[in-house]
C-alpha cells in the first residue's frame, strides 16, 4: 500500500511542477514576492525534484519535509487571503495545499531510514 501511495502522491506533484513551467506567466501574478516568474519556475522545479525523490526513494524523507513546508507556505501566503474573504477557489486551493502538506509529512514519517 505504501508503494502505491508513493506513486499516487508523487506523480501529481510532478504534474503540478510541469504546469508551473507551462503556465509560469499566468501563475506569476499569484506570487506575493518580487520576481514572480522566477519563483514559479523555482517552485515548479522543487515540485518535480520532490516527486523524483519520492519515486526513487532517495532522500524522500527530507524531500517530503521540504515539500510539506513549501505547500504550507503556498496555503498561507497565496490562498489564505482569498479563503478569509470567502472566495471559493481560494478556499479549495487552501484546503488542497494543507491536505497535501499533511500527506507529505505523513509519508515522510513513514518513509524512515532504510537498511
Q: Report the predicted TM-score, pTM, of the whole model to 2 decimal places.
A: 0.88
Structural domain of 89: 2-111
pLDDT category at 113 given cuts 50, 70, 90 is low
Residue corresponding to grid cell 513546508: 69
Q: 20: which 3 cell numbers?
A: 508551473
28-to-33, 46, 81, 112 alpha-carbon distances in Å: 9, 16, 17, 35
Per the structure, the count of domains in the chain is 1
- Tens-digit pLDDT profile for residues 86-104: 999 999 999 999 999 999 9
Residue 49 parent element (H or E): helix 36-56
pLDDT category at 31 given cuts 50, 70, 90 is confident
Amino acid at each position: 500500500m505504501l508503494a502505491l501511495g508513493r506513486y499516487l502522491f508523487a506523480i501529481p506533484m510532478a504534474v503540478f511542477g510541469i504546469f508551473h513551467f507551462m503556465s509560469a506567466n499566468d501563475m506569476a501574478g499569484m506570487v506575493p514576492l518580487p520576481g514572480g516568474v522566477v519563483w514559479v519556475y523555482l517552485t515548479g522545479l522543487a515540485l518535480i525534484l520532490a516527486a523524483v525523490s519520492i519515486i526513487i526513494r532517495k532522500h524522500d524523507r527530507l524531500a517530503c519535509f521540504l515539500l510539506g513546508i513549501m505547500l504550507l507556505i503556498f496555503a498561507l501566503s497565496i490562498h489564505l487571503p482569498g479563503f478569509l474573504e470567502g472566495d471559493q477557489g481560494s478556499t479549495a486551493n487552501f484546503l488542497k495545499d494543507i491536505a497535501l502538506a499533511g500527506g507529505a509529512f505523513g509519508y515522510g514519517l513513514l518513509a524512515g531510514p532504510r537498511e
